[in-house]
Amino acid sequence: MATGKSDISGWLVRPAHGCLWAGLAAVLGALTVHTVLVTSDGGMDNAIVVDAARTWLAGGSPYDDRHFLYFPSAVVAAAPQALLPRPVLDVAVPVAVVAALALGWACALRLHRVPLRSRLAALGLLGLAAGFAPFGQLVRLGNWTVTAVLALPLCLLLASRGRWVAAGAVIGVAVALKPLLAPMALLFLFARRWRALAVLVLVPAAASVTAALFLPDPTGFLTRTLPFLLRGDDAFVRLYEASPAAVLPRLGVPRALAAALGLLGAAAGVVCAYLRWRGPGPAPLRLAETSAALMLSAFLVSRPSYNHYLLVVLPLLFAGLPYAGAVARRPWFWLALVPQLPGVTWPWLVPPTRRAFRDALTLVLLAATVAHHCVRGMREGARRGGPAGKRRPAVESV
């Protein structure tokens, strides 16, 4: 990491002034209070999970709601919320979401060995909260994606310190709550961490099977939710999906071709992720950029795929800014985020149902930028005669 005075990194890693922290507290406080005032049950998406838990406690099947897309283990996890009074949820969930987002950012910083009292720590979270629209949307929705936003950097932080089994357990718990981080199994496969991979798979499997035994419809996820996810035929959800398979048909592209393009992009992204894992550079960067490439590849084909999913990878990439070879120093990284600037009205995209077009643009540009960076880093390492192409230790000393 460059920290000299001739590089902006030196300025970023120095302690932040109190006024920066005051500004950050004001923004996060305003966002939290506003969410408390305008939402119920902690947000629309949190309400879906809580309603599923209430249905279960009342003796019904949570999978009667076709928009409940979680494993049975999530039903049990949401049960405590179902027992709380609604006014308590209105306050507790937005506070918990903001706290989890802040903790995820802190873990991303520590992965890259950036001090938590630094200017980047304050300005980075302030930039995400005030300059990236999906941040506020995630808080207002109360979506359980926030569990992945916290779990992924925590997992990589543990892995960077050689604690791969604990890292696998973290991903396993996150998948049990929401299966968003399932593609991270490929990272453990790349690293050949078989015990950790087994933990990652067994934790959500055991939790879901155990929880399913207590449901009136134990196979509901397999017989109702999984076919729904594979078909992706919900007309309302499709209007907000950002994956090419959902957006391109709205522009006249045949569905089969759109799905094929998404699969092709995802496959290319996985190959680029593997190249980045085998390539040169500090261990924190390799972990972060490999994981980002894997998750962005999954977002290209996952159904549904929303813009707030990008918060799973952005803190990891943003926190790597002090490194000279980080993808966050690529111009296209920042250009990809322009469509997500809050307060900007884009012509012909004013209706909320057309938001998916700019969300898809951000997703595709960001995935392409990270993939190109992975391949470019491999080539640069080979030109320098570096260790690219050779077998590397799972985690280097930093």
Question: DSSP code of 323?
Answer: S
What dihedral angle (degrees, nearest 10) is formed by the CA atoms of 25, 119, 363, 295?
Answer: -100
Looking at the chain, the number of H-run helices and the number of E-run strands are 20, 0
| Half-sphere exposure (Cβ direction) of 266: Cα atoms closer than 13 Å | 17
The neighbouring-strand residues paired with 118 are 15
**pLDDT for 388:** 38
Instruction: Answer yes or no: are the C-beta atoms of 147 and 77 closer than 8 Å.
Output: no
* Section 126-136 average pLDDT: 95
Instruction: Band the pLDDT of 394: cuts 50, 70, 90.
Output: very low
**Res 393 pLDDT > 70:** no
**pLDDT for 1:** 56
User: How far is C-alpha 127 from the geometric centre of its chain's CA atoms?
Assistant: 17
In terms of Cα–Cα distance, which of 372, 260, 226, 239 is closest to 307?
Answer: 239
By the 10 Å C-beta count (0-12 exposed, 13-18 middle, 19+ buried), 354 is classed as middle
Q: Which residues 6+ apart lie within 8 Å of 66 measured at CB?
A: 224, 225, 228, 234
Distance between CA atoms of 190 and 184, rounded to whole angstroms?
Answer: 10
The neighbouring-strand residues paired with 15 are 118
**Res 382 pLDDT > 70:** no
The alpha-carbon radius of gyration of the chain (Å, integer) is: 21
In terms of Cα–Cα distance, which of 262, 247, 3, 222 is closest to 115?
Answer: 3
**pLDDT for 6:** 45
**pLDDT for 379:** 61
Q: Which of 37-46, 174-183, 296-305, 375-384 has the lowest mean pLDDT?
A: 375-384
pLDDT tens per residue across span 54-81: 999 999 999 888 778 899 999 999 999 9
Quote the crossing angle between the two packed helices 44-57 and 133-141, to the nearest 10°.
20
More confident residue, 172 or 11: 172
**Res 275 pLDDT > 60:** yes
Q: Which of 46-60, 87-101, 198-212, 229-243 has the lowest mean pLDDT?
A: 229-243
Alpha carbon separation from 233 to 111, 256, 261 (Å, rounded): 39, 13, 18
In terms of Cα–Cα distance, which of 44, 69, 354 is closest to 231?
Answer: 69
**Res 208 pLDDT > 70:** yes
* Section 209-222 average pLDDT: 90
Distance between CA atoms of 348 and 362, rounded to whole angstroms?
Answer: 17
- 3-class DSSP state of 247: helix
Q: Which of 165-179, 268-282, 384-398 has the lowest mean pLDDT?
A: 384-398
Q: Which residues 6+ apart lie within 8 Å of 286 measured at CB?
A: 276, 277, 279
**pLDDT for 4:** 44
